[in-house]
Amino acid sequence: MRERVPMLDLAAEVEFLWEPLQGAIQEVLRSGQFILGPEVEALERELAAYLGVRHAITLNSGTDALVIALRALGVGPGDEVITTPFTFFATVEAICHAGATPVFADIDPDTFTLDPDLAAAAVTPRTRAIVPVHLFGHAAEMARLRDLAGAHGLRVVEDVAQAFGGRFRGRLLGTLGDFGAFSFFPSKNLGAYGDGGLLITADDALADAARMLRAHGSRRKYYHERVGYNSRLDVLQAAILRVKLPHMDEWNRRRQAAAAYYQEILADLPGVVLPAVRPEVEHVFHQYTIRILNGRRDEVQRALSERGISTMVYYPVPLHRLPVFRHLNLSLPAAEAAAREVLSLPIGPFLRRDQQDEVAAALRAALR
């Protein structure tokens, strides 16, 4: 069956932005400046202003942002870093690439984010940092995680890959830890048309260390102080992001409106749990993720697919159950249940109400 409702309609976005995108791309081609320079610097200024933060350092990917943040903080071999088992693999991959040991603490089943009590229970004398993930656009419990970090002298790197523009108690996500690490992967709320990433920080010394690591560990060309990375944001992607950034508030509002409409039309479905809405969190709905109970998730997903409705399972395997971490022999029941039950429905700034009605009708039929 033809796809009637895509997960995210990037084609509609490209169509909407066609003229300004063409202009921006042509300008880069004519400029002859293809590595860093004015376009990337302008984007960094605009991102810093949008996020209300001193330093915005653009990078090659969100994965690199996490690795560079940890290394700039001096996290390395012998250190433990607490994180969630229910996230994209890159979160934990970054901890391993920094040379540290990941320690998984289970999630709060209502919000799918790191449970602060379980994170507290995971602290040992070797713990150096916490990496909370604002999963699906919903903030982790940052007040309690910050208290925990304060009490034990831990660093905090927020994984904001899925939550650009989201807030906790009115404060923008990414500004609550030592570093905020963002991704510009195309499907993210602020996505490029290729790879890209961002680190933000209020700390001058940390920003300087991150910039140095981005450029092969050098502040001055050919004078390398540390073993770093080639992790610059591509100039064409910077130009594309500058076209998209002014639309972010409106596009996040449209995601929230679409989510509110789902909450309304899916409210009475039996055996379905809708996303939690917390008063202290401004959720930006990178995903609209429901639970399908009673072991029926896969069957429901197939039924929707037969009616041309795309859905995704983020994530089918909690990280501690992947081959690379299976030897840890962990039991993290909330993450395991989530992996069995979650289903993300189509969402995005260009999703139409009639498409949402189709999703609801198909869900209703599948559950009957």
Residues forming contacts to ligand PLP in the complex (CB under 6 A) are: 61-63, 87-88, 90-91, 133, 159, 161-162, 183, 185, 195, 197
Least Å distance, CB 65 to ligand PLP, is: 7
Distance separating alpha carbons of residues 49 and 134, to the nearest angstrom: 21
Tell me the C-alpha distance between 33 and 45, whole Å: 18
The CB-of-340 to ligand PLP minimum distance in angstroms stands at: 20
Give me the least distance between CB of 277 and ligand PLP, in Å please. Answer: 21
Please name the residues in contact with 160: beta carbons below 8 A apart, sequence gap of 6 or more.
134, 166, 173, 174, 180, 181, 182
Q: For ligand PLP, give the closer residue by CB, 58 or 201.
A: 58
Q: Quick one: 104 or 362, whose CB is closer to ligand PLP?
A: 104
Q: 92 vs 212, which CB is nearer to ligand PLP?
A: 92
Closest CA to 127 of 151, 143, 108, 110: 151
Q: What is the DSSP string of 249-297?
A: HHHHHHHHHHHHHHHHHTTT-TTEEPPP--TTEE---SSEEEEE-TT-H
The whole-angstrom distance between residue 224's C-alpha and the CA centroid of its chain comes to 31
When the beta carbons of 87 and 127 are compared against ligand PLP, the nearer one is: 87
What is the rounded distance in angstroms from the CA atom of residue 247 to the CA atom of residue 240? 12
Nearer to ligand PLP (CB atom), residue 90 or residue 154: 90
Residue 172 CB, nearest approach to ligand PLP (Å): 17
Euclidean distance between the first and the last CA atom of the chain, given in angstroms as a whole number: 21
Q: Are 137 and 162 in contact (CB under 8 A)?
A: yes
Residue nearest to ligand PLP (CB): 62
**Residue with smaller CB distance to ligand PLP, 80 or 159:** 159
